Chain A
Amino acid sequence: MTGSPHEHPFDVPLPFDLRPRAEKAVRDLQLRQFVGSATRGKDRGRRDGFREVFGDRSEGVRTLAGAIKQHTLDHLDWYLERFIEAAGGAGVHVHFAQDGAQANAICLEIARRQGCRLCVKSKSMVTEETELLPALLAAGIETIETDLGEFILQLDHDAPSHIVTPMIHKDRAAVGRAFARELGVPYTDDPARLTAIAREHLREKYRRADLGVSGANFLVAETGSIVICTNEGNGRFCTSAPRVHVAFAGIEKLIPGPEHLGVMLKVLARSSTAQPLTCYTHCITGPRRADEHDGPDEVHLILLDNGRTEILREETRELLRCIRCGACLNACPVYRRIGGHSYGAVYSGPIGAAITPLLKGVHNFPDLPKATSLCGACFEACPVKIDLPRQFIALRRRMVEQRVTGAWERAVFRLWGWSLRSAWRYRLVSGVQRVVLRWLGRGMGPNDAGPSTRRWVSRIPGVLKGWTGERDFPAPASRSFRQWWEGEGRSER
């Protein structure tokens, strides 16, 4: 399993090399089984849920959800202003952070000013992106991840490997061992018992915490609300028990108004966990009011850019529609086999393979846009219709233009393209290919058992070395279709 304790899976040398990680993960049969069965189950659940509730209108709902997000992004400046106005009016302090370090610094400054010592944190991918947890701990603020999955990962010094189900790569035995080691409880792998232990441990922390940190699933421009969807109730604790609440959100989380929230909540829950709605949906509009019993004295929202305005360019803008539901991860045949840690960054799966190179530079993550068969399962699953295959191709194009792609590969493709631009060159290349491959495949022909009358090649050096490392390569037929056509095919009746 990638990401052994104490070695952070996203602390990678650049340019990032996917191959060794992917190879290790593919060989890890246990990992493949956990991730494979969990993702297949969720993918099926998503499809069934959509069919059951939306039926023939599933396509339309996805189009609508995508259009809501696209519209907001197309007018992001306007909606940001509306949101800041409304949130400010409700008493929320809104901050802007250009990058992760700045966002963390803002949070630490709030904690310092308020004298916060103990932080309870609900699940948030954006705080994974800014690496808030180590920053809080380094500042001497005891911090506990309260989402059960994240709690376990924190105990085990591990990192999330899925946007929604962060410990998809672990089984309950691993959880039991981490609990016994870190919490000093007797070993058990009974999920109910493990949950009870975590609950007991966390309850005490909630009671004493003075800082609550959360992410945000949506920001409603019209009302200035921060919307958080959770299933364990920990989000509610984190944002209401401590006296200070700091929410982190990417600038792309905006939606225009409450009427749009209904659509987004429905597609989010169905796409991520195949639920009609998440168990808890919190709409936080400002701090505790004078007549209210619960809630923080102060609410802060840190709006993070961290490369997002770069993605906001027209050709990549659709990527910011993402609502982090994880449906593309669950649908992806590549993710199913290599797991999240192989991607070398916080966001994994198809969406991660598309945005990580944009957030951190294509020259730093040149492998990610290529690590896909372009099968389109992600596009089909995406509730906001992000055309991920098209984005991968656009990234590959950018890599060719910026010469991130090697000179050798560029030369091969240019030559290949040139050879196909004339019928005689094509025939010449096909002829040479036929002679060479059939020679390589001599003796591996129709004489062995089985119905195939074809010659096969079991080892080819050069560009097809990878192919024959895993499977045989067919030799061309002795006579091409073209030759048949020019012989008897044309005139035959």
Chain B
Amino acid sequence: MKVSLFITCLGDSFYPRAGIAAVKVLRRLGCEVDFPAAQTCCGQPMHNNGYAGEARALAARMIEVFAASEHVVTPSGSCAAMVRKVYPELFEHDARMKAAAESLAARTFEFSEFLVKVLKVDLRALGVRWEGRATYHYSCHLRELGMTDEAEGLLGRIEGLEYVRLASPEECCGFGGTFATHYEVISGAMVRDKVADIRATGAPTVVCSESGCGMNIEGACRRQGCHLEFKSLAEIIAEGLGLLDRAGGAAERHA
């Protein structure tokens, strides 16, 4: 199966290890992975802040970049929601582009969704083994896409992983893009509550595949002096398959 990876702008710079993990896992599952080099950003920041023209131009670019892709997989639920829900709306008055946007929307999947719905993998049968206690934060956009169960289901099929659910998994972490800088006090109050919820689970590892949420929550953890380990689902699976070092091998180190 051919898969084009849409890494997202935040993922490219800030969470390359998550992208690397996704590539390794997809390859292990028999996919032929490519990375169209012309890709940049889905345009969500522009769309959300009211710059429709800018968003449309970036959407048109994305549609062209992935025109030949069979499946487009992205680690971000947020960017997936942008492509799936917003792109067709952006071209409401352009039948040709709207059709192209709908085609891309139909071919675009969030990573965990792709594993569950398209590849239909069973991590237990695959022998994924990851020792430790972990909790999971899903992004609001995954909720919007109706995909709050996929990652949880996958985590439940990992040998050795003790999954502890958050008390309020549905509550926003306070990221919201520019919201976090415009209304930092409100956003700060939200993320502190999220950190408290995470800490209450006692899990040293937080599974979070959304770059934006991850930057926000981990940044708040650090500010509070609480050092938790943040990993995307792809990283957990890659580590559980021995494709990545649990500590993060030299090639995949963040720093």
Contacts and interface: CB of A to CB of B under 8 A. Distances in A.
B93 to A, nearest CB: 13
B2 interface: no
Contacts of A450: 222, 227-228
Contact of B253 (A334, A410, A453, A485): A453
B47 interface: yes
A485 B35 contact: yes
**Quick one: which of B20, B188, B219, B230 has the most chain A CB within 10 A?**
B219
Given A377-B140, A466-B184, A471-B220, A405 B172 contact: no
Given A373-B176, A413-B49, A420-B58, 12 more contacts: A374-B179, A417-B58, A450-B228, A464-B181, A466-B184, A467-B181, A470-B191, A476-B13, A481-B7, A482-B12, A483-B16, A484-B16
Nearest to A397: B50
A482 B7 contact: yes
Given A421-B57, A481-B7, A452 B227 contact: yes
B219 A471 contact: yes
B7 A474 contact: no
A376 interface: yes
A32 interface: yes
B176 A375 contact: yes
Interface stretch (B37-45, B98-106, B113-121, B150-158): B37-45
A49 interface: no
Given A337-B190, A420-B9, A426 B40 contact: yes
Contacts of B23: 485, 489
Interface residues of A, number: 80
B239 interface: no
Interface in B44-95: 45-55, 57-58, 61
A376 B190 contact: no
A300 interface: no
Contacts of B7: 481-482
A416 B9 CA distance: 12
Contacts of B254: 446, 452-455, 477-478
A446 B255 contact: yes
Contacts of A476: 13-14
A26 B215 CA distance: 22
Given A370-B179, A393-B48, A477 B14 contact: yes
B179 A373 contact: yes
Nearest to B174: A373
B248 A453 contact: yes
Contacts of A481: 7, 11-12, 15-16, 19-20
A463 interface: yes
B215 A474 contact: yes
A372 interface: yes
A440 to B, nearest CB: 14
A375 to B, nearest CB: 4
A465 interface: yes
Contacts of A470: 180, 184-185, 187-188, 191, 220, 223
B216 interface: yes
Contact of A473 (B168, B219, B228): B219
Interface residues of B, number: 77
Contacts of A449: 227
Nearest to B52: A397
A472 interface: yes
A410 B53 CA distance: 12
A26 B51 CA distance: 30
Interface in A337-392: 337-338, 370-377, 380
A23 interface: yes
Contacts of B27: 493
B227 A480 contact: no
Contact of A452 (B13, B41, B229): B229
13 contacts: A26-B185, A373-B172, A373-B176, A373-B187, A430-B12, A434-B13, A451-B227, A452-B254, A471-B223, A476-B13, A481-B15, A486-B37, A489-B20
Interface in B197-233: 204, 215-216, 218-220, 222-223, 227-230
Given A338-B186, A375-B176, A400-B50, A474 B218 contact: yes
Main secondary structure of the interface of A (DSSP, over half): helix
A445 interface: yes
A371 B253 CA distance: 36
Given A453-B248, A484-B251, A396 B183 contact: no
B175 interface: yes
Given A373-B179, A375-B176, A420-B43, A414 B54 contact: yes
A456 interface: yes
A337 B20 CA distance: 38
Nearest to A483: B16
Contacts of B9: 420, 426, 430
A390 to B, nearest CB: 8
Contacts of B183: 18-19, 22, 334, 370-371, 466
A473 B215 CA distance: 7
Interface in A415-445: 416-418, 420-423, 426, 430, 433-434, 445
A399 interface: yes
A333 interface: yes
B96 interface: no
B171 interface: yes
Interface in A36-74: 40
Nearest to B220: A471
